[in-house]
Amino acid sequence: MSSSIIAGYARRNCVQETPHVSHRTPIDPRRPPVSTRPSAAPLAALRSRTPQLLAHLEALVAVESPSDDLAATGAAADAVDELALSVLGSRCERHGDDGRVHLCWSGGGPAQVVLVAHVDTVWPLGTTVRWPFRVQHGQASGPGAFDMKAGLVQGLHALSLLPDLAGVRLLVTTDEEVGSPTSRGLIEEVARGAAAALVLEPSAAGALKSARKGVSMYELVVHGRAAHAGLEPEKGVNAGLELAHQLLSLAAVADPLAGTTVTPTLLAAGSTTNTVPATATAALDVRAATEAEQLRVDETLHAAKPVLAGARLELRGGPNRPPLPATASADLVARARRLADALGLSPLHDVAVGGGSDGNFTAGVGVPTLDGLGAVGDGAHAEGEYVLVAAMAERAALVHALVAELLG
């Protein structure tokens, strides 16, 4: 994008817009698309930029960003801001407080197309010492490369080739991997009223993610009574045993036919080997395809009663992300398939997945949402996660074509 075009943008707030006169017709992703074949030039330009895409990905991977480290995620936000300045010609706006920073880049005007990304990862500081960024055999690997720093780099370069970015927002958050507790409000506020949200999360073996389950997160705390395990165990109330009763009953709460899972994950009980446990805890991960199922599970968990006399149950948490239903993405999937075919890319497929993303929030406020537009590769959250280098330009070109058509 030329510096003269960048210079013409007014710096507007990502959420509250000043009056803006637009010559565009308001866009509706459900309207029949204009049958204009996308230009092949952006794909060629992006392929020529592959060394730059890799250099920018390497720079972001080098700035480690575990979600729970505010200093680290702040440094990563700084790196993204510098990259936005370099690629798009202007900086991002900063949101958040108490040391937690989220970014929003604005092209001015009312938000019409919102790109959604995050820069935090699941990898602890120091991971790059033993597993640095590397490119081998057509694969770029490093902690957070696939999930999802490559998608962010691809999105920036996709936007840079558009002649007019009025109506575009790029959200980059720093707490997605821990449930987006501080960024949810910003995501919903920026996206609300937009015509489309394009989520730069990694693909599923190349497939777009057209549906996601809703996510609920709970902590079940069992309160019992301590006693000496050898001298007088009968005077205690075994919180660990009560927790076992509760966990066994969870099998009946899940509904595999409806796609509802209730999975105990982190468990803890007791203080010493010779003491009846006074407390016990279990983290519960719940996935459901519909809001009705989320509500059913929530009500059932809250209605649970203790089995042992003297035990008490405490349930913390609740629904975290609403489902992203296939109906929210159907029209965008059709557009993406048509554009990919016109660009000469491999046929696109789409899948429903159990994992949640910030796309659940954009769909939850009624915005048509398509997920999985980021990197093609494999191994999210696993040692050795990687990105297919040849696909970086192709997916960036697809995002470019989608935004261009949606903006009209």
Amino acid at 344: G
Q: 4-26: per-residue pLDDT in tens?
A: 333 333 334 787 544 333 344 44
Q: Which residue(s) pair with 386 in the sheet?
A: 141, 378
pLDDT of residue 189: 97
The β-bridge relationship of strands 196-199 and 369-370 is parallel
Q: By the 8 A CB rule, do 33 and 405 touch?
A: yes
pLDDT of residue 37: 79
Is residue 132 scored above 50 in pLDDT?
yes
Domains held by the chain: number: 2
Mean pLDDT of the chain: 93
DSSP class of 408: -
* Mean pLDDT, range 94-123, rounded to an integer: 96
Question: What percent of the chain has pLDDT above 90?
Answer: 89
pLDDT band at residue 159 using 50, 70 and 90 as cut-offs: very high
Q: Is residue 38 located within the same domain as residue 106?
A: yes
pLDDT band at residue 223 using 50, 70 and 90 as cut-offs: very high
pLDDT of residue 19: 36
Name the residue range of residue 245's domain: 215-320
The three-state (H, E, C) secondary structure of 91-134, written as one string = CCEEECCCCCCEEEEECCCCCCEEEEEECCECCCCCHHHHCCCE
* Mean pLDDT, range 73-89, rounded to an integer: 98
Domain boundary among the residues 294, 320, 346 is at 320
Q: Is residue 367 located within the same domain as residue 287?
A: no
For 305, other C-beta atoms within 10 Å of its C-beta total 8
pLDDT of residue 10: 32
**What pTM did the predictor assign?**
0.88
Q: Which residue(s) pair with 222 in the sheet?
A: 280, 313
pLDDT band at residue 36 using 50, 70 and 90 as cut-offs: low
Domain boundary among the residues 320, 355, 378 is at 320
pLDDT of residue 111: 97
Q: Is residue 244 located within the same domain as residue 206?
A: no
Q: Is residue 68 located within the same domain as residue 151?
A: yes
pLDDT band at residue 390 using 50, 70 and 90 as cut-offs: very high
For 198, other C-beta atoms within 10 Å of its C-beta total 29
Question: What percent of the chain has pLDDT above 70?
Answer: 92
User: How many residues are there in the chain?
Assistant: 408
Q: Is residue 153 located within the same domain as residue 44?
A: yes
* Mean pLDDT, range 44-64, rounded to an integer: 98
Within 13 Å of residue 388, how many CA atoms lie on the same side as its CB?
A: 16
Residue predicted with more confidence, 15 or 248: 248
Amino acid at 55: A
Q: Is residue 288 located within the same domain as residue 360?
A: no
Q: Is residue 315 located within the same domain as residue 248?
A: yes
Q: Is residue 366 located within the same domain as residue 260?
A: no
Sequence-separated (6 or more) residues with CB below 8 Å from residue 41: none
Q: Is residue 178 located within the same domain as residue 234?
A: no
pLDDT of residue 31: 55
Is residue 292 scored above 60 in pLDDT?
yes
Q: Is residue 185 located within the same domain as residue 223?
A: no
Domain containing residue 54: CATH number: 3.40.630.10
Q: Is residue 199 located within the same domain as residue 223?
A: no
Is residue 299 scored above 60 in pLDDT?
yes
- C-alpha 54/C-alpha 246 separation (Å) is 49
- C-alpha 79/C-alpha 82 separation (Å) is 5
Domain boundary among the residues 320, 341, 371 is at 320
Q: Is residue 200 located within the same domain as residue 280?
A: no
Domain containing residue 277: CATH number: 3.30.70.360
pLDDT of residue 397: 98
* Mean pLDDT, range 371-395, rounded to an integer: 97
Q: By the 8 A CB rule, do 243 and 307 touch?
A: no
Q: 64-79: per-residue pLDDT in tens?
A: 999 999 999 999 999 9
